[in-house]
Amino acid sequence: MKKIYLMALSIMATSAFAQKPLTFKGQNESRQATKIQEKIQTPPASTTSGPNIEFKALGKKSFLTKIGETQNDQQTNASVYRRIQLLPGGKVSAAWTFSSDPAPYSTRGSGYNHFDGTTWGAKPTTRIEPSRTGFPCYVFNPTTNEEIITSHKVDAATGNAGGILFNRKAGVGPGTWTSTNALDTSSTRPGVLWVQTAISGDYMITYGSFTDSSSSQPNRVVIDGIRTPQVYSRYQFSTNTWLVKNQLLPGYNSDRVYSGGGDNYSIDANGNNVAILVGGLTDDLSLYKSSDAGATWTRTIIDSFPVPAYNYKTLFDTTYSNDGSVNVSIDANGVAHCFWALSRVLDANIDDNSVSYFPGQNQIRYWSDNTPIDSIQVVGGMPDENNNGTLDLATSWNATGTKYGNNSIATMPFSAIGDNGYIYLIFSSLTEDDISTDSKNFRDIYCVTSKDGGKTWSNIKNLTAWIGFNTEQIFGSLSRKVDGRLHLTFLQKFSIGRYDATDNPSAAGIHDVMYLVVDTADIFGSLTGISEAKNELFVIGQNYPNPTNGNTTIPVSFTRGTDVKVSVIDLVGKEVYNHSFNNIPSGNSQLDLQLGSLPTGVYIYTVEADGFKTSRRMLVD
């Protein structure tokens, strides 16, 4: 298999490295049994080597609705689950990890809400299950007309993994859920965790991690020489029988796999075709496919890790990999479209069970299995939204507590395919112009599209920038069905990074589960909101001092002399300052603003000249 981990490199600044440990602590469920350390690097100096940015505000047919709340902000360890589906009659159902209390989240379980074609139900205040669960995956079975949520359970008394709850409800919308234990603990092994699910005709296929959370299992489960292996199961609806329970896929063996990991995989089905994409920081990126509803499988290694069955003891040079966030969709012709976020790793110490990674990677990559193995494309990444030729990452962009697992700058891809074959991809990325008071970048949800089956891709579009400043949108999930509109959910937060009692205590709180509809005509066409052309006249820098107490300066650089207007608005859109500067020469200049006494808060300053307009955020102290 040809190794292609070095192709299409993006911005990779590598100076001024410093190590510090990165520990996964969510709900006492460790993503891997090994330590993972991070490499701090200086911010990239240029834009992603993919499409250009195209920011446009949403059109009138697009809208945003809050459908739930949760105090649990660990919606995944890596890859995002399918958690929303457009149903017959224009109805929509959505699920998420719910908790009405803070850590240790004793009320944690599956939140569920439903849109009946007119309105959403009331925000749920309890989980659907009778006991503590987490990490739900939603599917709809059109044959039996039932909604299904698989969620994994953990024994409250022992902390042991207890398999999954197979939650089922007849019909769509309001109704009674029944919960059945499945793939659960045996006398010798704990149950599976982090199960993702797809339906193929009469069958439901699941894929999860055969591991355990408790300290009583320090060496984890071992099957055929693989620690914490990932396993698949197959359920038949017509006979109400698990035909396969917790088995290894063909080719998933100790020759290439040392240990599995938590939800670094994705599953999808279309008719009898099923695909499972499996990644990991130190693992092959592999595609497993079945054309008979999960009865038999084939394996393709898309990107082979240079050290097979890497056991954290083998010295190797810096290499590129994936950050564990992967996604796969199957089109009507059975073609698997695979997406993943680029990562970069190094083992500087072969005497311990650790590996270092570089979090400043900035590529969403794509490959489909109807193309040669070396035809990987870069289709997304953090874009240069203000068109100044560099990625403006704040000074503390990668400080402790800002991350979600071992994610890269651009991460968590999620795709859907319309009936016309158009491919839609959303992903999470840091954004340039939304920065916290302690100098960290918030995240937005971005989108790219393909009209020709993945041969070419659109410019990058920011779907959530219009929502407002100092908000983070993360864990985006798309409905498989596209009806001329994208239906997606995400978690919206007013804090950055996943909650951690030690490293990120300020991220505690109540977070919003949002439902966003985006008209595909808005994505492909001209929107009714702002459409900014590339500014070739001037660039602006961050005002200083920032925060300011009234007087501040904006550095600017013009390609020719011009008149300039500067305006400042507050976050409710009220203009609090404007001033015109005449005959500003070409080259570098400074625009001095005397703002007077403004209330403490966040403001937006806009520089306009000859029809071009650029905005940035500033703080008044």
**pLDDT tens-digit profile of 410-435?**
999 999 999 999 999 999 999 988 88
Per the listing, tokens 């089956």 go with 453
Identify whether the C-beta of residue 253 lies closer than 8 Å to the C-beta of residue 303.
Answer: no
Q: Which of 185-194, 426-435, 445-454, 530-539 has the lowest mean pLDDT?
A: 530-539
CA distance 285 to 294: 20
- CATH of residue 512's domain is 2.120.10.10
Total structural domains in the chain? 2
> Residue 10 falls within a domain, yes or no?
no
The confidence band for 18, taking pLDDT boundaries of 50, 70 and 90, is: very low
**pLDDT tens-digit profile of 534-546?**
567 888 888 899 8
Among 24, 69, 28, 26, smallest CA distance to 156 is for: 28
What torsion do the CA atoms of 92, 97, 102, 104 make, to the nearest 10 degrees? 160
Among residues 496, 524, 552, the one where a domain terminates is: 524
Do 92 and 210 lie in a common domain?
yes
CA distance 429 to 469: 15
> What pLDDT is stored for residue 102 in this prediction?
94
Q: Is residue 398 over pLDDT 70?
A: yes
Side-by-side strand order, sheet with 265-270: 265-270, 273-278, 285-290, 298-303
Q: Which two tokens stand for residue 103?
A: 């850590």
- CATH of residue 571's domain is 2.60.40.3080
Give the helix ranges, DSSP H, for 473-555. 520-524
- With H, G, I as helix, E, B as strand and everything else as coil, classify residue 116: coil
Identify whether the C-beta of residue 229 lies closer than 8 Å to the C-beta of residue 223.
Answer: yes
Q: How many CB atoms lie within 10 A of CB 121?
A: 15
Q: What is the pTM of this model?
A: 0.81
The single-letter DSSP state of residue 522 is: H
Name the percent of the chain lying above pLDDT 70: 86
Identify whether the C-beta of residue 235 lies closer than 8 Å to the C-beta of residue 245.
Answer: no
**pLDDT tens-digit profile of 272-285?**
999 999 999 999 99
Do 424 and 564 lie in a common domain?
no
**pLDDT tens-digit profile of 285-331?**
999 999 999 999 999 999 999 999 999 888 778 899 999 999 999 99
> Residue 18 falls within a domain, yes or no?
no
Do 237 and 104 lie in a common domain?
yes
Q: Mean of the pLDDT values across residues 370-390? A: 90
Give the H/E segment covering residue 341.
strand 336-346
Q: Is residue 122 over pLDDT 80?
A: yes
Do 293 and 415 lie in a common domain?
yes
**In whole numbers, what is the pLDDT of the chain averaged over residues?**
85
Do 460 and 588 lie in a common domain?
no
**pLDDT tens-digit profile of 238-263?**
999 999 999 999 999 999 999 988 89
For residues 23 and 437, the model is more confident at 437
Q: Is residue 364 over pLDDT 80?
A: yes
The confidence band for 164, taking pLDDT boundaries of 50, 70 and 90, is: very high
> Residue 341 falls within a domain, yes or no?
yes
Q: Is residue 336 over pLDDT 70?
A: yes
Q: Cis (ω within 30 of 0) for the bond into 229?
A: no
**pLDDT tens-digit profile of 93-118?**
999 999 999 999 999 999 999 999 99
In the chain, the N- to C-terminal Cα span, in Å, equals: 58
Among residues 494, 524, 554, the one where a domain terminates is: 524
> What pLDDT is stored for residue 610 in this prediction?
82
> What pLDDT is stored for residue 134 in this prediction?
93
The confidence band for 528, taking pLDDT boundaries of 50, 70 and 90, is: very low
> Residue 20 falls within a domain, yes or no?
no
Going by C-beta distance under 8 Å and a sequence separation of 6 or more, which residues neighbour residue 540?
386, 388, 554, 555, 556, 557, 607, 614, 616
CA distance 195 to 411: 20
> What pLDDT is stored for residue 212 in this prediction?
66
> What pLDDT is stored for residue 127 in this prediction?
98
Q: Which of 458-472, 492-506, 532-546 has the lowest mean pLDDT?
A: 532-546
Do 604 and 458 lie in a common domain?
no
Q: Mean of the pLDDT values across residues 353-372? A: 93
> Residue 17 falls within a domain, yes or no?
no
Domain that holds residue 599: 538-620
**pLDDT tens-digit profile of 49-89?**
344 444 444 555 678 899 999 999 999 999 999 999 999 99
Do 348 and 394 lie in a common domain?
yes
Do 479 and 614 lie in a common domain?
no
HEC string for 286-334 = EEEEECCCCCCCEEEEEECCCCCCCCCCCCCCCEEEEEEEEEEEECCCC
Supply the DSSP string of 146-196, one letter for each residue: EEEEEEEEE-TTT--EEEEEEEEEEBSSS---EEEEES---SSS---EEEE
> Residue 16 falls within a domain, yes or no?
no
Among residues 492, 524, 556, the one where a domain terminates is: 524
Residue type, 85: Q
The single-letter DSSP state of residue 380 is: E
CA angle 331, 198, 133 (to 5 degrees): 145
Do 497 and 573 lie in a common domain?
no
> What pLDDT is stored for residue 13 in this prediction?
27
Q: Is residue 23 over pLDDT 70?
A: no
> Residue 486 falls within a domain, yes or no?
yes
Do 329 and 434 lie in a common domain?
yes
Q: Is residue 597 over pLDDT 80?
A: yes
Q: Mean of the pLDDT values across residues 473-488? A: 96
Side-by-side strand order, sheet with 472-478: 63-70, 511-519, 485-493, 472-478
CA distance 442 to 494: 9
> Residue 137 falls within a domain, yes or no?
yes
> What pLDDT is stored for residue 34 in this prediction?
36
Q: Which two tokens stand for residue 122?
A: 């009331």
> What pLDDT is stored for residue 224 in this prediction?
92
For residues 347 and 455, the model is more confident at 455
Identify whether the C-beta of residue 152 lies closer than 8 Å to the C-beta of residue 195.
Answer: yes
Do 490 and 591 lie in a common domain?
no
Identify whether the C-beta of residue 328 lies closer than 8 Å to the C-beta of residue 478.
Answer: no
CA distance 83 to 330: 17
Residue type, 86: L
> What pLDDT is stored for residue 41 in this prediction?
40
The confidence band for 24, taking pLDDT boundaries of 50, 70 and 90, is: very low
Q: Mean of the pLDDT values across residues 532-561? A: 83
Question: What are the residues facing 147 on neighbouring strands?
Answer: 140, 169
Identify whether the C-beta of residue 158 lies closer than 8 Å to the C-beta of residue 214.
Answer: yes
Q: Cis (ω within 30 of 0) for the bond into 545?
A: yes
Do 166 and 301 lie in a common domain?
yes
Among 418, 489, 412, smallest CA distance to 93 is for: 489
Identify whether the C-beta of residue 148 lies closer than 8 Å to the C-beta of residue 140.
Answer: yes
| Largest distance between two CA atoms of the chain | 81
The single-letter DSSP state of residue 521 is: H
CA distance 562 to 458: 33
Supply the DSSP string of 234-273, one letter for each residue: EEETTTTEEEEEEEPPTT-STTT-SB--SS-EEEEEETTE
